[in-house]
Every structure is written in structure tokens, then in C-alpha cells.
């Protein structure tokens, strides 16, 4: 089985993406996670460019990596310096990493305009820089920047830059599509030519400006590349780099090659989400393989087929990447969606029961009105049990009133007064909050905690409001999605109304009802006495 080296540059090239910045501690944590995943090389940063990366490499000396090699990144020497006097090359040596990666110019345009030197002088920069690093005992990876654009402009010169790196002893030469605009057919032609002119193992480094990064990486591997450079989740400058979360499973599951190994592959989704968490960016749901929607099925016909044979609408088993299958319930649902979702949630229903159609019809009616259950499994479960099993409510609302007051330049505050009944017991409670929804939430919890102590464990972790018909201005309908957690489980609920408070109330009630269901079950209405016990 052919081994393909995985070179991760999330911490350097990936961090150049917009709205993305890693602290030094973040970088150290990610290095450990990538090492556990089984990547071969981790590019930690550019020690010659900023103090944070200098500090990172100092701290990184303490790491005890089990598999990966840490790489420091930099450029060929400055034209006015010798290799021995160049501060950038000295910083790479002082980083004390086993691997050093440097880039050099392959495109005559950059040599003449960016560097302002002759083509011959650029070849000397490459030779001397690589040779200097090799003389210090480092494994040297040479990134041929803009190789594919350079080849298009002057193929002889682009190839000459590769030969210069090879003559100086580079261990791997990586062909870079730095602008990310090369189409696959052109990339293949230029890669073949490079492989015929140098004997050094070749790698590939692609950007995604033409949405070709993963495809071009895979094509290069099929032509003999032994190393793929990329980033987790495709992070990177402009449109990003080749997404290793797609490259790796394509290599393992489609081409039958070894990159991180089948066992480590099962951790890919976890690591993808871990990196996005430290990047303080929400995980992209539509990412292939590792995204939450990668194996989500919504259309009734699709679900019906998947229930019979998963390969009907899934190109691989999601468990192989550590992901999971999801069936969504919506206005596009059929009976199959309801049955699958019920089974997934542990809800009981006879497959031949007409109740399934009742649920489907109600779902379509509610989604037409504006409800969305894709992120509100708890609300779906509550609705299902009411329709199928005639489950009872835990409490009944008699009414609530909310007052918002602002005095002078002070911040406004809200007070909610709520009256409800648990069994035969009436509860009348007031609470204040920073806003009307906050006050209502506090009053509801305060009213019920005496009867249901478990409510104290619930925390709202997210609150989203979506305006459904903005053309109606202040009379527009809104959808409220609430995410709640008790520290062990997280669940989502939904409410819809032209009144924001009413929509929020619906979602809040479902959130609490779901928790009470977990404690007491749906079988019957719980009496105040029984709940308190």
C-alpha cells in the first residue's frame, strides 16, 4: 500500500485566513492533536517573521511528539545577504526543528518584479539556501512557489529552479499552485514535466481560489506526488488551502493509499471540530466527510432508500471518518423520515400505524407556517409524543405579563409576572431580567423549580432569532431556536410567532418539557406532590 505523507500547515498558511488567529497555547494544543491524528509533518510557523512564532518554537521544544515531525517555515536568503549571514535562515536553524521548509521563486515575474534580481541570481539564492540548511543537518523541504503559473510563463526557467533545489540536496520538492487558479488538466501536464526533470520526490501544495485544491492534490498524487500539503478544514488566505479533511479520506477510502491509517481516520471529524473550536470559528456544516450535513438526509425518497441500503445515497460509511448519519424532518419529509427519526430518538411507533401520516401532515403544516425542526430535535420529540401517544403537559399556563422600564440614561430592565398550575397547585411568580425574554425565562424557572428541582441544571447555551418575512417590517413573523444543556446533554427547541415573546415562550417551554420528560417520562401528567418527591 503506497504511503502518502501528510503535511499540515494549518498553523502557518491556515492562520493567514481572514478572521482566524491562534494563540501560542492554541498552537501547542493543535500540534498535540495533529500528532495524535497521525499526520507526518506539522508546520508550526515562520520564526523569522514574528515574536509569537519565535516563542512557539521555544515552547515546542518541550513537546514529545509520537509520530509527527515539526517543521519551521521560511524563505530563501535575502539577495543582499550570504546564507550564513541571513537572519531568516538563522532563525530557522535556531528553531531547532528536525525539518525546515523554505520557499523560493519559480515564476520569472516574481523574480524580476518582487525580488528585483536576475533569473540567474534567483537560482543562486535557492541553491545556497538549501545547501546551508542541509549543512546544519536538517531535513529540507523546498516549496516551489507559483510553480504552475511560472511554468506557464517560462517552463524552462520554472524547471531550472527545481533543479537548483535538487542539486543543493533538497529532500522533497513541493510544487505550489500559490494563486490557486490552475485547472486540473493543466496541473497534470506541468506536474508530469517536473517529474521528468528531477529525481527528488515531489509533493503538492494547492490553494482553492478556483475550487480545485482538493481535486488538484488528488490528481498530483495519482501522478506520483508523495506528499500533500494542506490545512484542517481548508483554512487559509483568500479562499483557503487544500482541505486535508477531504484529502485524507479520499486517499484512504477512494485510492486505497495510506496517509494517517484507517484507525486514525475515525478521529478525523473530532479533530476537524477541535481545530475550528480553537480557531473560534463555527464548524462548516457543509464540509465533505466531516461536516454535520455531510451525511444528512432530508428528502423522503432519499430516506426511504437509505433505510433499505445506506449506499443508495451515501458514498462512504460516515462511521469511517467518525461522523454520523442524520435524518432531517421538514416539509420535504415523508413517512420514512418520521419512522427513521423516531427510531433514532428511541420513540415507539408501529410502522403500519396511521399515526406516522398524522405526524408527517402536522410537520408539513407547521413548517409551512415557519417552524424548522432540523435544529430542534427536542421540539420534534415533544410533538411526536403528543400526536402519537397523547402525552400530557407537565404544567398549564394561566397567563404572564412583562413590563420593560427605562429611567433616564440607565439601561432598561424587564420584569415578568407569570401564573401557572402544576396539577391542582397554582404558582404566581415574578422575576427580573436584562430583557423581556430573560425575565420570562427566569420567572418560568422560578415558578417550576419548587416542583421540579432538576430544572436548576438547565442552562441556555444559544439563542437565535430569524425573521421569516422581513417585508412585513415590525409585523414580521420570527422563528426562535434555543439550545439548552444540563451539563450532560444538549438539545434544541423552536418557536414561531409574529410576537417575539410568544415564539421565545414556545421554545422555552419545550426546552424545560424535554428535561422533565427525561426525568419523569411522558406517560401521564405529573402531579405537584409526585414531582416534589
The sheet that has 396-405: what strands, in order across it? Answer: 396-405, 413-422, 425-433
For residues 372 and 363, what is the distance between their CA atoms, to the nearest angstrom? 9
- Average of pLDDT values for 135-153? 98
What span, in angstroms and rounded, lies between the C-alpha atoms of 2 and 385?
A: 53
Mean pLDDT of 261-277: 94
Of 162-176, 230-244, 390-404, the least confident: 390-404
Q: Could you give the CA distance from residue 243 to residue 232 in angstroms, rounded to a whole number? A: 6
More confident residue, 341 or 188: 188
pLDDT exceeds 80 at position 105: yes
Residue 437 near residue 413, CB atoms below 8 Å? no
**pLDDT, average across residues 396-419:** 92
Write down the residue that cell numbers 407547521 correspond to. Answer: 366
Please, what is the average pLDDT of the chain? 89
What is the per-residue pLDDT for 381? 84
Could you tell me the pTM of the whole model? 0.71
478-485 and 459-467: which strand pairing?
antiparallel
What is the tens place of the pLDDT at every residue in 170-197?
A: 999 999 999 999 999 999 999 999 999 9
Strand pairing category for 202-206 and 396-405:
unpaired
Q: Is the pLDDT of residue 318 over 70?
A: yes
Confidence of residue 532 (pLDDT cuts 50, 70, 90): very low
**Percent of the chain residues topping a pLDDT of 90:** 67
Longest Cα–Cα distance in the chain:
93
Q: Which residue has the cell 493509499?
A: 257
Residue 67 pLDDT greater than 60, yes or no = yes
User: Exposed, middle or buried, 107 (CB in 10 Å: 0-12/13-18/19+)?
Assistant: buried
DSSP symbols for 384-399: HHHHHH-PPPS-EEEE
**Is residue 523 over pLDDT 70?**
no
Query: Using alpha carbons only, what angle is made at residue 149 by residues 146 and 154, rounded to the nearest 5 degrees?
Result: 110
DSSP letter string, 12-47: TTGGGSTT----HHHHHHHHHHHHHHT-SEEEEE-T
What's the average model confidence in pLDDT over 203-217?
A: 98
Q: Which CATH superfamily, name and number, covers 5-278?
A: Aldolase class I (3.20.20.70)
- pLDDT of 525 reads 47
Q: What are phi and psi of 313, to 5 degrees?
A: -135, 20
For 464-498, what is each residue's pLDDT tens digit? 898 888 787 878 889 898 999 998 899 999 999 99
In this predicted structure, the answer to whether residue 347 has a pLDDT above a threshold of 90 is no
Domain boundaries, the chain: 5-278, 296-364, 396-532
> What is the per-residue pLDDT for 48?
74
- Cα gap 288→519, rounded to integer Å: 37
Could you tell me which CATH class the domain 396-532 is placed in? alpha beta
pLDDT digits (tens, 9 = 90+) for 362-384: 877 787 787 877 668 888 888 88
Q: Left (φ > 0), alpha (ψ -120 to 50) or beta: where does 355 sit? A: alpha
* pLDDT at residue 199, rounded to an integer: 98
The set of residues, in sequence order, having a beta carbon less than 8 Å from that of 204 and lying 6+ positions away, is 174, 175, 191, 216, 217, 220, 221, 225, 227, 228, 229, 242
Phi-psi region of 179 (alpha: psi -120 to 50; beta: other; left: phi over 0): alpha
Among residues 445, 474, 477, 447, which one has the least CA distance to residue 460?
A: 445
- Bridge pairing between strands 5-8 and 41-45: parallel
Same fold, 5-278 and 396-532: no
**Which H or E run includes 359?**
helix 355-369
Q: How far apart are CA 11 and CA 231, in angstroms?
A: 8
Distance between CA atoms of residues 251 and 230, nearest Å: 13
Q: Is 169 exposed, middle or buried (0-12, 13-18, 19+ CB in 10 A)?
A: middle
Question: 335 pLDDT band (50/70/90 cuts)?
Answer: low
Q: Is the pLDDT of residue 315 over 50?
A: yes
**DSSP letter string over 409-445?**
TSPPEEEEEEEEEETTEEEEEEEEESSHHHHHHHHHH
* Per-residue pLDDT tens digits for 231-244: 999 999 999 999 99
Cα-Cα end-to-end distance for the chain:
63
Nearest to 15, CA basis, from 370, 369, 278, 351: 278
Amino acid at each position: 500500500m503506497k504511503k502518502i505523507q501528510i503535511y499540515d500547515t494549518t498553523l502557518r498558511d491556515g492562520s493567514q485566513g481572514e478572521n482566524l488567529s491562534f494563540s501560542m497555547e492554541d498552537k501547542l494544543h493543535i500540534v498535540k492533536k495533529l500528532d495524535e491524528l497521525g499526520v507526518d509533518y506539522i508546520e508550526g510557523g515562520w520564526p523569522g517573521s514574528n515574536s509569537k512564532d519565535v516563542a512557539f518554537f521555544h515552547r515546542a521544544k518541550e513537546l514529545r511528539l509520537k509520530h509527527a515531525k515539526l517543521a519551521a517555515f521560511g524563505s530563501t536568503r535575502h539577495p543582499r545577504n550570504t546564507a550564513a549571514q541571513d537572519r531568516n535562515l538563522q532563525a530557522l536553524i535556531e528553531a531547532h526543528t528536525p525539518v525546515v521548509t523554505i520557499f523560493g521563486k519559480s515564476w520569472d515575474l516574481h523574480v524580476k518584479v518582487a525580488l528585483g534580481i536576475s533569473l540567474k541570481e534567483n537560482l543562486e539564492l535557492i541553491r545556497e539556501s538549501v545547501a546551508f540548511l542541509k549543512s546544519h543537518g536538517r531535513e529540507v523541504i523546498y516549496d516551489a512557489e507559483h510553480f504552475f503559473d511560472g511554468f506557464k510563463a517560462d517552463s524552462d526557467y520554472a524547471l531550472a529552479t527545481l533543479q537548483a533545489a535538487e542539486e543543493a540536496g533538497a529532500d522533497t520538492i513541493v510544487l505550489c499552485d500559490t494563486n490557486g487558479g490552475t485547472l486540473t488538466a493543466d496541473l497534470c501536464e506541468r506536474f508530469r514535466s517536473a517529474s521528468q526533470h528531477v529525481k527528488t520526490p515531489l509533493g503538492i501544495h494547492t490553494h482553492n481560489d478556483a475550487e480545485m485544491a482538493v481535486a488538484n492534490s488528488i490528481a498530483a498524487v495519482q501522478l506520483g506526488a508523495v506528499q500533500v500539503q494542506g490545512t484542517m478544514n481548508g483554512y487559509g488566505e483568500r479562499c483557503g488551502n487544500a482541505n486535508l479533511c477531504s484529502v485524507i479520506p479520499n486517499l484512504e477510502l477512494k485510492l486505497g493509499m495510506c496517509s494517517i491509517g484507517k484507525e486514525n481516520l475515525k478521529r478525523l471529524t473530532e479533530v476537524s471540530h477541535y481545530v475550528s473550536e480553537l480557531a473560534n470559528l463555527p464548524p462548516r456544516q457543509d464540509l465533505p466527510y466531516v461536516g454535520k450535513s455531510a451525511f444528512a438526509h432530508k428528502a423522503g425518497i432519499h430516506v426511504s432508500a437509505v433505510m433499505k441500503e445506506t449506499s443508495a445515497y451515501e458514498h462512504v460509511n460516515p462511521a469511517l471518518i467518525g461522523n454520523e448519519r442524520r435524518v432531517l424532518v421538514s416539509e420535504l419529509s415523508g413517512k420514512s423520515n418520521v419512522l427513521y427519526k423516531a427510531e433514532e430518538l428511541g420513540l415507539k411507533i408501529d410502522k403500519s400505524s396511521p399515526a406516522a401520516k398524522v405526524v408527517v401532515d402536522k410537520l408539513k403544516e407547521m413548517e409551512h407556517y415557519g417552524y424548522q425542526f432540523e435544529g430542534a430535535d427536542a421540539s420534534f420529540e415533544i410533538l411526536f409524543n403528543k400526536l402519537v401517544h397523547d402525552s400530557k403537559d407537565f404544567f398549564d399556563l394561566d397567563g404572564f405579563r412583562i413590563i420593560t422600564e427605562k429611567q433616564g440614561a440607565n439601561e432598561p430592565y424587564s420584569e415578568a409576572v407569570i401564573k401557572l398550575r402544576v396539577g391542582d397547585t397554582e404558582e404566581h411568580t415574578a422575576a427580573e431580567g436584562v430583557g423581556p425574554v430573560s425575565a420570562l425565562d427566569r420567572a418560568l424557572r422560578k415558578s417550576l423549580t419548587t416542583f421540579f428541582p432538576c430544572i436548576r441544571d438547565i442552562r441556555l447555551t444559544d439563542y437565535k432569532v430569524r425573521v421569516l418575512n422581513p417585508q412585513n417590517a415590525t409585523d414580521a413573523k420570527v422563528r426562535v431556536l434555543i439550545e439548552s444543556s444540563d451539563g450532560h446533554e444538549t438539545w434544541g427547541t423552536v418557536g414561531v410567532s409574529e410576537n417575539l415573546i410568544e415564539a421565545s415562550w414556545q421554545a422555552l417551554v419545550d426546552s424545560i418539557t424535554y428535561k422533565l420528560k427525561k426525568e419523569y417520562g411522558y406517560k401521564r401528567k405529573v402531579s405537584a406532590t409526585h414531582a416534589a418527591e
